[in-house]
C-alpha cells in the first residue's frame, strides 16, 4: 500500500461482506477494525442460513482465520449510530466501509397484511435462528395450512423448516424455543405462491431440488402451470436462462408424483397477492390469477380477473429483504441500499470522502455468501485507488477505544466472542447439536465476560 503508515479502516458489520473486505484490506497492509452491533460475528451466516444447511456455515472458519490477523480487531457489541456516529468514525479512520446488510423486509402492500397470523419471513427466520431482536416473537402454528408468498430461497428455507419433523431438526443448531414451538405445529400443507411463472422463480436449483427430497412431504403442482408460453420457452433457450431451464426441468420431475406422505408442499404460480382476510386474524389469502405479458426477460404479471382464495391461518411474506438507513450516511429509500459508484458512497451525485459500502447494503439483498467476495473486492480496489499516495493521518483504533470508554461502552473482542462460541458449542454437545445459541444479548455478554469482575449491561437498539 502506498504511504508509509498503515491505512486505518473501520468496517461496519461482521457478515460475509465485512469479512471479505477486511481480508482484502489486510492483504493490502491496512489496519482493520470491525464494528458489529451484536456481541456475535458473522451476520446472516449465523442468523439467516438455515439450521439444516450446516456445511454453509463452515465459512465462519475462514472468517475466524481472518480475525486472527495481527492488524485486525473486532469491536462486537458496538453499533454505528448507537455507540459511535458516522462523523466520529470518519474522523478516526482513513476510510469507513459500511457492510451492514439488509435487516428489514419488503411489504406486500395489500390490505390485511398486518393481521395477526401474517409475518415476514425475516421475522420467522431470525426467530428460529435465535437473533436476540426476535427471540420473544411467537408464531401460532396451530392451523393446518400455511401460505408462503415468494419464490426465492428464503421462502424454500421457511417451507423446509415448517415441514421437516422435529427429529430431523433437533440435531441442527435451531434454537430450543423454535424446536419446542415446531413440535406443537399442526401445519401439514405449505402453499408456496409466486406472482410469475416457473421460468421466473428466483430460487436456485439446489434449494428447489431439496423440497423434492423431503422425507415426509410430497410436492404438488398443477400441470397447467408447466405449459409455458413461447416467450418463456425462448427465455429458457437463452444462455441467460440456463438456471431457469434447470429449475423447470426439476419442476417437471415433480409432475404426477403420487401423494404418499402426510405433509405436502403445494407450488402455485401466476398468483399475485390481493388481500389477507379474517375477522381478528388471518383466515384466508386472496390472490389475483395472472398471465405474463411482455418480451423475454421483461415479462410482467397481469391480473386476468380471476380471484383465487387459499384458506390459511399463517402467512409468511418472503418478498425480499431491505436495507436500513444510518444517520449521516446517504441512503436510497426506493432501493433500500446506499448509492455508490464501484463501492464509493455517493452523496447527491458527489463522492462522500472516505466512505465506502459493500455487500447487501451496496447491491441490494440478493446473492449468496460467495457473491459478496467479489463485491467487497471491488469496494477495496476503489478505496485503494482513492488513497493513492496520500499518507495516513488517522488516529485509528486508539481514538475509537477512547471514545467508547468515555461512553461506557465495553466492546466484545474476538477472544471474548470465542468464549461465547465455546459455551454455545458445549451447551449444544450435551444435546447432540452443533451448538445451542444464546438468544439474549445479556446471556452473550455474561459468557463473553465470564470471569471478569463485572459484565456490561445490554444497551437498547
Q: Contact between 359 and ligand FAD (CB under 6 A)? A: yes
CA-nearest of 164, 18, 214, 172 to 97 is: 18
Q: Contact between 18 and ligand FAD (CB under 6 A)? A: yes
CA-nearest of 283, 287, 266 to 159 is: 266
Q: Contact between 79 and ligand FAD (CB under 6 A)? A: yes
Site size toward ligand FAD (CB under 6 A) is 35
Which of residues 7, 14, 147, 420 is near ligand FAD by CB under 6 A? Answer: 14
* CA distance linking residue 365 with residue 359, whole number of Å: 8
Which of residues 95, 99, 315, 352 is near ligand FAD by CB under 6 A? Answer: 99
Q: Contact between 319 and ligand FAD (CB under 6 A)? A: no
Task: Please state the closest distance from residue 104 (CB atom) to ligand FAD, in A.
Answer: 11
* CA distance linking residue 345 with residue 324, whole number of Å: 15
Task: Please state the closest distance from residue 319 (CB atom) to ligand FAD, in A.
Answer: 12
Contact region with ligand FAD (CB under 6 A), list: 238-246, 294-302, 362-370, 438-446:
362-370
21-60 footprint of ligand FAD as x/- string (CB under 6 A) = --------------xxxx----xxx--xx---x--x----
Q: Contact between 343 and ligand FAD (CB under 6 A)? A: no
**Contacts by residues 274-281 (CB-CB < 8 Å, ≥ 24 positions apart):** 274/110, 274/307, 275/110, 275/111, 275/112, 276/110, 276/111, 276/112, 276/113, 276/115, 276/117, 276/118, 276/315, 277/112, 278/112, 278/115, 278/117, 280/115, 280/116, 281/115, 281/116, 281/117, 281/140, 281/313
Count CB-CB contacts under 10 A for residue 268: 21
> Which residues, numbered 146-175, are part of the site for ligand FAD (CB under 6 A)?
154, 157
Residue nearer to ligand FAD on the CB measure, 15 or 428: 15
Half-sphere exposure of 448 (CA within 13 A, CB side): 26
Q: Contact between 10 and ligand FAD (CB under 6 A)? A: no
Task: Please state the closest distance from residue 47 (CB atom) to ligand FAD, in A.
Answer: 7
CA-nearest of 201, 251, 192, 246 to 226 is: 251
CA-nearest of 292, 354, 431 to 98 is: 354
**H or E stretch at 215:** none
* CA distance linking residue 321 with residue 338, whole number of Å: 14
Task: Please state the closest distance from residue 100 (CB atom) to ligand FAD, in A.
Answer: 4
* CA distance linking residue 264 with residue 214, whole number of Å: 9
Residue nearer to ligand FAD on the CB measure, 247 or 326: 326
- What contacts 140, CB < 8 A, 6 or more positions away? 116, 117, 281, 313, 314
State whether residue 208 is helix, strand or coil.
helix
Residue nearer to ligand FAD on the CB measure, 80 or 423: 80
Q: Contact between 66 and ligand FAD (CB under 6 A)? A: no
Residue nearer to ligand FAD on the CB measure, 30 or 38: 38
Contact region with ligand FAD (CB under 6 A), list: 66-74, 225-233, 328-336, 359-367:
359-367
> Which residues, numbered 115-144, are part of the site for ligand FAD (CB under 6 A)?
125
Tell me the residue nearest to ligand FAD as measured from the CB. 15
Task: Please state the closest distance from residue 69 (CB atom) to ligand FAD, in A.
Answer: 18
**Contacts to ligand FAD by CB under 6 A:** 12-18, 35-38, 43-45, 48-49, 53, 56, 79-81, 99-101, 125, 154, 157, 321, 326, 359-360, 367-369, 372
Amino acid at each position: 500500500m502506498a504511504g508509509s503508515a498503515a491505512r486505518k479502516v473501520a468496517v461496519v458489520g461482521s457478515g460475509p461482506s465485512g469479512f471479505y473486505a477486511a481480508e482484502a484490506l489486510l492483504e493490502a497492509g491496512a489496519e482493520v477494525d470491525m464494528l458489529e452491533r451484536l456481541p456475535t460475528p458473522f451476520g446472516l451466516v449465523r442468523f439467516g442460513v438455515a439450521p439444516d444447511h450446516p456445511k454453509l456455515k463452515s465459512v465462519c472458519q475462514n472468517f475466524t482465520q481472518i480475525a486472527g490477523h495481527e492488524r485486525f480487531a473486532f469491536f462486537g457489541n458496538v453499533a454505528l449510530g448507537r455507540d459511535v456516529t458516522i462523523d466520529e468514525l470518519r474522523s478516526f479512520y482513513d476510510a469507513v466501509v459500511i457492510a451492514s446488510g439488509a435487516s428489514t423486509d419488503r411489504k406486500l402492500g395489500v390490505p390485511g397484511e398486518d393481521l395477526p397470523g401474517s409475518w415476514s419471513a425475516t421475522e420467522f427466520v431470525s426467530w428460529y435462528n435465535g437473533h436476540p431482536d426476535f427471540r420473544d416473537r411467537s408464531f401460532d402454528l396451530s392451523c393446518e395450512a400455511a401460505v408462503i408468498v415468494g419464490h426465492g430461497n428464503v421462502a424454500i428455507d421457511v417451507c423446509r423448516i415448517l415441514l421437516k419433523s422435529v427429529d430431523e431438526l433437533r440435531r441442527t443448531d435451531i434454537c430450543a424455543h423454535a424446536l419446542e414451538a415446531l413440535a406443537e405445529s399442526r401445519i401439514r400443507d405449505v402453499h408456496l405462491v409466486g406472482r410469475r411463472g416457473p421460468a421466473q422463480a428466483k430460487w436456485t436449483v439446489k434449494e428447489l431440488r431439496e423440497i423434492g427430497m423431503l422425507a415426509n412431504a410430497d410436492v404438488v403442482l398443477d400441470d397447467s402451470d408447466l405449459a409455458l408460453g413461447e416467450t418463456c420457452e425462448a427465455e429458457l433457450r437463452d444462455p441467460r436462462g440456463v438456471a431457469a431451464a434447470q429449475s423447470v426441468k426439476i419442476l417437471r420431475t415433480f409432475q404426477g408424483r403420487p401423494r404418499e406422505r402426510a405433509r405436502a408442499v403445494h407450488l402455485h404460480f401466476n398468483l399475485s397477492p390481493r388481500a389477507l382476510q379474517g375477522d381478528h386474524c388471518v383466515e384466508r389469502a386472496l390472490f389475483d390469477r395472472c398471465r405474463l405479458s411482455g418480451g423475454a426477460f421483461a415479462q410482467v404479471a397481469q391480473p386476468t380477473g380471476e380471484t383465487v382464495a387459499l384458506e390459511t391461518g399463517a402467512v409468511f411474506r418472503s418478498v425480499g429483504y431491505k436495507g436500513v438507513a444510518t444517520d449521516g450516511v446517504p441512503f436510497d429509500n426506493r432501493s433500500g441500499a446506499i448509492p455508490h459508484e464501484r463501492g464509493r458512497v455517493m452523496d447527491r451525485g458527489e463522492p462522500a470522502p472516505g466512505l465506502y459500502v459493500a455487500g447487501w447494503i451496496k447491491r441490494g439483498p440478493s446473492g449468496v455468501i460467495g457473491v459478496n467476495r467479489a463485491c467487497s473486492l471491488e469496494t477495496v480496489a476503489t478505496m485503494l485507488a482513492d488513497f493513492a499516495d496520500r499518507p495516513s493521518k488517522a488516529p485509528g483504533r486508539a481514538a475509537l477505544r477512547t471514545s467508547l470508554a468515555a461512553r461506557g461502552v465495553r466492546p466484545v473482542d474476538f477472544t471474548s466472542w470465542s468464549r461465547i462460541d465455546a459455551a454455545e458449542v458445549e451447551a449444544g454437545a450435551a444435546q447432540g447439536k452443533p451448538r445451542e445459541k444464546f438468544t439474549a444479548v445479556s446471556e452473550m455478554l455474561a459468557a463473553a465476560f465470564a470471569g471478569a469482575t463485572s459484565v456490561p449491561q445490554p444497551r437498547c437498539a
